[in-house]
Structure 1
């Protein structure tokens, strides 16, 4: 007996020695030999269990436990020894093995409800969210008062973008277990996805009070702070994450994004370059890197980053891929050297990947097909707050004929303010869709029996194109925001004007049918609070000041070359470049260096950011548009301030926004069709100071009298379009 004990001891020491030096394969082989001889030895089982787990042989460890049971050895109550194995797999994050082991055990012990929870955790951790929800739904039915199960089920629902459904389960988990910080974290995520950021922040802070050393809670807190534009707090949260867990690479995409939104672009790019190697396998990293590259006018590199982000298989979280693809399309619109046909091909790919699947939701409509009845019009946009769309959207809403049209707002603004409150007075029905899933929004639009659904977002952030792909209304159209096709074959019309639709082949680069209005594609109502007219700056300066309030992404190498040529042709002239992208001093100097390569002195370049825009415009004599992506709002603001504006007629339709505005303002003479003509028009204006003085004094009056600010006429034009769209639908249905 003593000899046998010594033999066990010796074999155990050999197993432990192998484990001590990390040789788990040898430890596993020694453990197999040990248990073959002494299968009932508890110490041997404990040692061998870890070796099995470390070498990916979890099932083998479970088989030994089953063998001990069959041999009549009394184990811990219930299946606790099995749970120990699963907990060990969880602690070392071997989730595929944990899934395999859970399934193996469920097959043998189908009445053990707790095993469903372990399987659900393994599925969640391997991003198998749909199956995780199904498994955990069973667990909730069997264990309705188990806080861990409730919390995990809530996590699954949040991961499937069903946050509203998750909230009751997560609140119940917290009620049952007030110190279960994981449930707090999951609830915070649900509230954040629903746009209830302040509530989410409070919940995250509660989780931190319970478990102050959990880095991922700080990461999620940072996301909520970023959403509320509290960028300093967000950045501090991400720094806390790295303090707690320096190797947590998943935090870097969020850190980079917060720096970008705080307009610390140079710092964001430096950080992204520094961590590229460790983050190369994280798609969110490439998406965040693409965003900051885009906003720093590195268009080619941004496109490469987006393509890299899309190269990962993220089928379970399609909204991520969809958002990245929208950002890729957005970026391509600004590229100076890509053809319209090539860009449109990428939009068609978007439709194939994200639009075509929506057709499985298409079904008939119950609306009465009466061509002359009062129509229900739905506007879908996140822009129902103090954002530039108000200058164009409010004039239409103010003049809508409510005897002919019943208006519905499907609103998901990032915040609500005084402008939101005003929008609410313009609609018979206001529907807050921020917490709605795509399924819920589609059904709500159908229940409201919307006749014509208008997308006012395109591929901008928080768009609802995935819902439009499901065709929830008989007629749908895109208008105003974004400035180009959505790419979706599900959307019937793109509402535009003759200036944008002009030219052979324009229809071929739109997925929607072009609907050309009688007049302009939109009208402009300025914010006049600080827009008093001032004398021409050149009179007091003694030189001409050109200017652009455009984002950096529009100022490509072709634009820089032409603008430099204009400055070179007008001695002592200056160039103002002013927008939020140039708040970063490093970005300012990088842009200046592009002009200095053409011999333009640094002191002639006034690059930076100040607000409001009116104060900057008062310093400018002549406005210069970018191409191939024109300006929109800033062009109209310039005209309103008495500033003539040179624009280029370029590829459809982002390259024709300037032409659209200038035709509506009755000044088509400022539209150029070549770079040479563009420069000549700017130089000719600069030499005619008398004309500039006249325009400074009278251009506002001309604009106010033009179609560009004729609000009633525009409203009637849009309503005529809606009525004709509906009539075409009715006629088509009848045939």
Structure 2
């Protein structure tokens, strides 16, 4: 048998040329021999390192643990164990190991840095900063710590300090794609989209195979309506986030209409970013007539579209049957937050809590059902639900797609956004509400202050097409249709939401490229919700986008009395406007092809009587149609909660079901 030294030299030679599997086999051969404890620990650590490279994290962790059994003070093995546990999303165990490393070696800057990352993952921003500063105090200019500190400052909203920190890191490592990406995100949050664009593209150029960088670059370019640059980068769209590296699922929804690939992206994101969930919780005991305890989790209990929609539902909940808990993911306070919080029995601000602390709080509250109102939208904490906040966990409203997470039991939908033949594009069981899954508040105020077209730079006697969707939802395909409509409707204008100067310039440039005078684009600034709703009355027709429809913006338009025209697609996000139009009693405003969408828009723009009949019907149905019957919708929702809980209490698996329109409690009609 070869000597131990010879086997070790062979293993190290294999490592140098990248033959990791052979190196691992050689280390195992060494371990089969009788070695002193210290040497055995050293080889176990080496085998752990190779196993980690091979992606065999459980094997690696076991190797490090075996090494530490023999040599508990081996800081290298303990640090590598912590890194491996962190990669496995075993955050509590990883944190314990980092503390153990730092107890033995307080100057271990990599341990300080990684502990800071761990605390960032748990949304403990202040504690993360303490760790990064500890690393930088020991090694000034430590680039990784500078980048991570900058990212933490961004998440805390201190954009100026974050930018300074990241620029310092970039000066030291000008070819760091990760630093460019962090700076791009920070500049985007700081309201500097043009500079952000440059750094997104720089990050992609430095790391062209990184799907996360490319997806975020494409999403940002979409927001700027920078379609020329997008076309250059779009070649890999079909595989982005579906094979190899995961990518943020939300950022791809407006890029293509493909339910199967959106599901793949969400599942990959869960697998790579969130990891293994905790075991399901048993249903709470007690009498059948006790109140169900419902927890709503959101970052948008504030002046946000979701809060404006949800307030009516919260107010209409039957407090004799349901106890409501809120878990706010942001510490933002405003008048809307005060209004929303008044409808909860308990309102928790968990923005300063770790995931473990927040999950413990939800369990102390004894929830029966936890509602994820965020999915993968901005400021989400999807990983919270992997810790099991409640025996039954439901996704609703915020994210128009599947979470891809097996710890989310149900999604609330309806027969339009998710008919039976499309439900396999979701990992969750589907609760189908009648009419529409989308809530509304029939008491939402519309300003009575008079507004004129002149105040909004709109022509007094011309047809006004309108779309107040975010600019990232506009694509060349739909914009080309809009340009043809302007060309064929003399004097008409297109009223859009102003999102950035760059987006406005790009849209005006594209308008001219279509042979249309760019003065026929009119841009609207953001304004308070009651005034925003009122200005819809100055428009004639709301034109929808696809493959990411108008959602809240469609409900806003209809509540204000403005007809909406949509083109239904395949994925959930491309079917929401059709759902709300169905519930508003205007199914004829749903088209199924680009040609039909364009044809109907032109017909409505050139036939005043046809459009007036639709507008009059919307006005007469507005307070009687299902879309704005907030109380009935809430009863359907409560029926969904009751039936989902009953299945869990009976120890039955989550299974798709419908709530009949005739029976909002979920019972079979007589």
| TM-score bucket of the superposed structures, by smaller chain | 0.7 to 0.9
Name the CA distance, whole Å, in 2 between partners of 1:611 and 1:487: 36
Name the CA distance, whole Å, in 2 between partners of 1:208 and 1:121: 29
- Residue 603 of structure 1 corresponds to which residue in structure 2? 519
- Residue 205 of structure 1 corresponds to which residue in structure 2? 133
Name the CA distance, whole Å, in 2 between partners of 1:362 and 1:170: 26
Deviation of residue 631 (structure 1)?
A: 0.6
Q: Deviations over 1:536-570 (max 9, x none)?
A: 51787443433222123322233213211221233
Q: How does 1:568-607 map to 2 (within 5 A)?
A: 568-580=487-499, 583-585=500-502, 587-607=503-523
Deviation of residue 520 (structure 1)?
A: 3.8
Q: Give the match's secondary structure for 2:466.
A: strand
Q: Give the match's secondary structure for 1:389.
A: helix
Residue 307 of structure 1 pairs with residue 225 of structure 2:
no
Closer, same or farther: CA 62–545 of 1 in aligned 2, 3 Å: closer
Closer, same or farther: CA 326–277 of 1 in aligned 2, 3 Å: closer
- Residue 413 of structure 2 corresponds to which residue in structure 1? 496
Q: How does 1:286-301 map to 2 (within 5 A)?
A: 286-296=214-224, 301=233
- Residue 635 of structure 1 corresponds to which residue in structure 2? 554
Deviation of residue 195 (structure 1)?
A: 0.8
Q: Which structure would you say has the larger RCO, counting Cα contacts within 8 Å and 6 or more residues apart?
A: 2
Closer, same or farther: CA 527–239 of 1 in aligned 2, 3 Å: farther
Name the CA distance, whole Å, in 2 between partners of 1:489 and 1:703: 39
Q: Deviations over 1:278-306 (max 9, x none)?
A: 42355544454444345456577458258
Closer, same or farther: CA 489–128 of 1 in aligned 2, 3 Å: closer
Q: 2:121 aligns with which of 182, 189, 193?
A: 193
Q: Deviations over 1:354-389 (max 9, x none)?
A: 689999977794655976554343445554555432
Q: 2:149 aligns with which of 221, 236, 239?
A: 221
Name the CA distance, whole Å, in 1 between partners of 2:234 and 2:443: 34
- Residue 313 of structure 2 corresponds to which residue in structure 1? 396
Deviation of residue 413 (structure 1)?
A: 1.9
Q: 1:257 aligns with which of 150, 167, 185?
A: 185
Q: 1:405 aligns with which of 295, 305, 322?
A: 322
Closer, same or farther: CA 527–407 of 1 in aligned 2, 3 Å: closer
- Residue 252 of structure 2 corresponds to which residue in structure 1? 331
Q: How does 1:44-443 map to 2 (within 5 A)?
A: 59-60=8-9, 108-111=35-38, 115=42, 119=46, 122=49, 126=53, 130=58, 133-134=61-62, 154-167=82-95, 170=98, 179-262=107-190, 264-265=192-193, 267-274=195-202, 276=204, 278-280=206-208, 282=210, 284-296=212-224, 301=233, 304=236, 307=239, 311-312=243-244, 321=246, 324=247, 326-327=249-250, 331-332=252-253, 334-335=255-256, 338=257, 343-344=259-260, 347=263, 365=282, 367=284, 374-384=291-301, 386-409=303-326, 411=327, 413-418=329-334, 426-428=344-346, 430=348, 432=350
More deviation in 195-204 or 357-366?
357-366
Closer, same or farther: CA 100–461 of 1 in aligned 2, 3 Å: farther
Q: Deviations over 1:632-677 (max 9, x none)?
A: 1122333444544333344454333223333444555644455455
Q: Is the 8 A contact 1:286 1:309 kept in 2?
A: no
Deviation of residue 244 (structure 1)?
A: 1.4
Q: Give the match's secondary structure for 1:495.
A: strand
Q: Deviations over 1:585-630 (max 9, x none)?
A: 2x33333333333321122223576455666663851332213432
Residue 480 of structure 1 pairs with residue 403 of structure 2:
no
Q: Is the 8 A contact 1:458 1:465 kept in 2?
A: yes
Name the CA distance, whole Å, in 2 between partners of 1:687 and 1:288: 40
Counting helix residues as a fraction of each chain, which structure ranks higher? 1
Closer, same or farther: CA 124–433 of 1 in aligned 2, 3 Å: farther
Residue 517 of structure 1 pairs with residue 433 of structure 2:
yes
Q: Is the 8 A contact 2:412 2:437 kept in 1?
A: yes
- Residue 49 of structure 1 corresponds to which residue in structure 2? none
Closer, same or farther: CA 147–609 of 1 in aligned 2, 3 Å: farther
Deviation of residue 454 (structure 1)?
A: 3.5
Name the CA distance, whole Å, in 1 between partners of 2:26 and 2:141: 30
Q: Deviations over 1:468-496 (max 9, x none)?
A: 78998665543212234445677654423
Name the CA distance, whole Å, in 2 between partners of 1:168 and 1:510: 37
Q: Give the match's secondary structure for 2:412.
A: strand
More deviation in 555-564 or 354-363?
354-363
Q: CA RMSD in A?
A: 5.4
Closer, same or farther: CA 274–432 of 1 in aligned 2, 3 Å: closer
Q: 2:539 aligns with which of 621, 636, 646?
A: 621
Deviation of residue 213 (structure 1)?
A: 2.1
Q: How does 1:672-687 map to 2 (within 5 A)?
A: 672-673=591-592, 675=594, 678-679=597-598, 682-683=601-602
More deviation in 145-154 or 481-490?
145-154
Q: Is the 8 A contact 1:374 1:405 kept in 2?
A: yes
Q: Give the match's secondary structure for 2:166.
A: helix
Q: Deviations over 1:522-549 (max 9, x none)?
A: 3324997994543451787443433222
Closer, same or farther: CA 343–519 of 1 in aligned 2, 3 Å: closer
Task: Report the TM-score, using the length of structure 1 for normalisation.
Answer: 0.68
Please say which structure displays the higher CA radius of gyration: 1
Q: Is the 8 A contact 1:157 1:165 kept in 2?
A: yes
Mark the runs of 5 or more structure 2 residues left unpaired by the alignment.
Answer: 654-670
Closer, same or farther: CA 190–584 of 1 in aligned 2, 3 Å: farther
Q: Deviations over 1:19-77 (max 9, x none)?
A: xxxxxxxxxxxxxxxxxxxxxxxxxxxxxxxxx9xxxx9944999xxxxxxxxxxxxxx
- Residue 75 of structure 1 corresponds to which residue in structure 2? none
Q: Is the 8 A contact 2:410 2:428 kept in 1?
A: yes
Deviation of residue 277 (structure 1)?
A: 5.5
Q: Is the 8 A contact 1:218 1:237 kept in 2?
A: yes
Closer, same or farther: CA 396–615 of 1 in aligned 2, 3 Å: closer
Mark the runs of 5 or more structure 1 residues left unpaired by the alignment.
Answer: 1-51, 64-88, 315-320
Closer, same or farther: CA 284–241 of 1 in aligned 2, 3 Å: farther
Residue 712 of structure 1 pairs with residue 628 of structure 2:
no
Name the CA distance, whole Å, in 2 between partners of 1:551 and 1:401: 35
More deviation in 675-684 or 596-605?
675-684
Closer, same or farther: CA 294–641 of 1 in aligned 2, 3 Å: same
Closer, same or farther: CA 252–306 of 1 in aligned 2, 3 Å: farther
Q: Is the 8 A contact 1:460 1:482 kept in 2?
A: yes
The count of aligned residue pairs is: 631
Q: Deviations over 1:203-258 (max 9, x none)?
A: 42343343222111111112112323444443433322232133444433333433
Name the CA distance, whole Å, in 2 between partners of 1:168 and 1:349: 32
Deviation of residue 408 (structure 1)?
A: 4.9
Closer, same or farther: CA 222–363 of 1 in aligned 2, 3 Å: closer
Closer, same or farther: CA 366–112 of 1 in aligned 2, 3 Å: same
More deviation in 704-713 or 97-106?
97-106
Q: Is the 8 A contact 1:140 1:153 kept in 2?
A: no
